[in-house]
Amino acid sequence: MDSNRWPEVRHVLGVDQFDRPFLDRICLLTQEIRELCDKPDGKRLLKEQFADRSAMLYFSQPSSRTYTSFKRACQKLGVDIVDVRDPNTSSEVKGESKMDTIRTFSSYVDVIVMRTKEQGLAAQAAAHLDQTPRPRPIVNAGSGADEQPTQVLLDIYTMARSFKDHGGIDGKTIALVGDLKRGRTVRSLAKLMRHYHDMMLLLVSPPAFRMQQDILDHLDSHRDRVRYEVVDDLRAAVCRADAVYMTRVQDEHDVDGESAKVSINDFCFTPEHLTLLRPEGVVMHPGPRRQELDLRCDDDPRVKYWRQMRNGMWVRTALLACIFATLGKERKERRR
């Protein structure tokens, strides 16, 4: 393993920091690490890489996939883990500011992976730590309804693998379905599409959950690479799509129970939609899945939901490996 060839990564805050070479390299590294772990020697080698390193998993919002996959990623790299999953168990309840809490964590670990309900908190924490004598990298594992940059990496990796024999991601039509207004994964994914050529996004949602104007403006400013259409009919979108990306209603962001008044019956993917999807098409979902992706679809090889969450562990292993390798280089530089 030659970590000198790995992309240099410090903070991972939002998708704006990713460019196409980075996306391609992280997919390749993920694949390399995965293949390495197929062999017992490779597994051992990986575990020895960062055995003196540690990470904090600070998840003040619920999480199953992201938390567990980051934890397993750390374990695969031999990294020690500390976690806080309930802010009621940290000194925040005694009135400590978020920035002091995060700076406290930075005293004990090398990297902080954090998920919060507050939009922009990861970026604020990164800027804050950069002013301190221990500027530890921050990884945004989800910030409010805003961004989910590491989810998008695994989505890209899943698509790259799925379309490997069909020309890759370039030129594909992707239907984003569900709560596009508040779904941070679809917002992040839509933004990243500008790094691919000739993309078409079909935005399929009830009127109340339409993609917000900031993302549409972003897409408009990259219309040489990404075009989009707002489509009301899920069946029509499925007939055209190479990938259908389903999302749940993000009702945790409701102010007044407004989601309950919106019917999503016409935006649920069922076995009938599978009959409309092309043979090399894929169905994705960031999880957690509710009724919008029918359980009866799971056995179809085009449904990548379960594979996608497993890919998350490998992509996060690759990403953390890059961060720890970058820290190692910085340490060497300082010693010179």
Applying CB under 6 A, which residues contact ligand NCD? 65-66, 142, 148, 151, 184-185, 247-248, 286-288
Instruction: Give the shortest CB-236-to-ligand NCD separation in angstroms.
Output: 24
Q: Which is nearer to ligand NCD, 7 or 286 (CB)?
A: 286
Q: Which CB sits closer to ligand NCD, 281 or 287?
A: 287
- Shortest Cβ 287–ligand NCD spacing (Å): 5
Closest CB 116 distance from ligand NCD, rounded Å: 11
Q: Give the C-alpha separation, 247 to 252, whole Å.
A: 14
- Listing DSSP states for 44-59 in one string gives HHHHHHTTT-EEEEEE
Q: How far is the CB of 79 from ligand NCD (least distance, A)?
A: 21
Residue 143 to residue 48: CA distance in whole angstroms: 32
CA distance 70 to 320: 9
Q: Residue 192 — left, alpha, or beta (φ > 0 → left; ψ -120 to 50 → alpha)?
A: alpha
Shorter beta-carbon distance to ligand NCD: residue 46 or 74? 74
CB of 33 to ligand NCD, least distance (A): 20
Nearer to ligand NCD, 147 or 242 (CB): 147
**Nearer to ligand NCD among residue 206 and residue 287 (C-beta):** 287
Quote the tokens at residue 77: 């790299």
CB atoms within 10 A of CB 171: 14
Dist CA 80 CA 83 (whole Å): 10
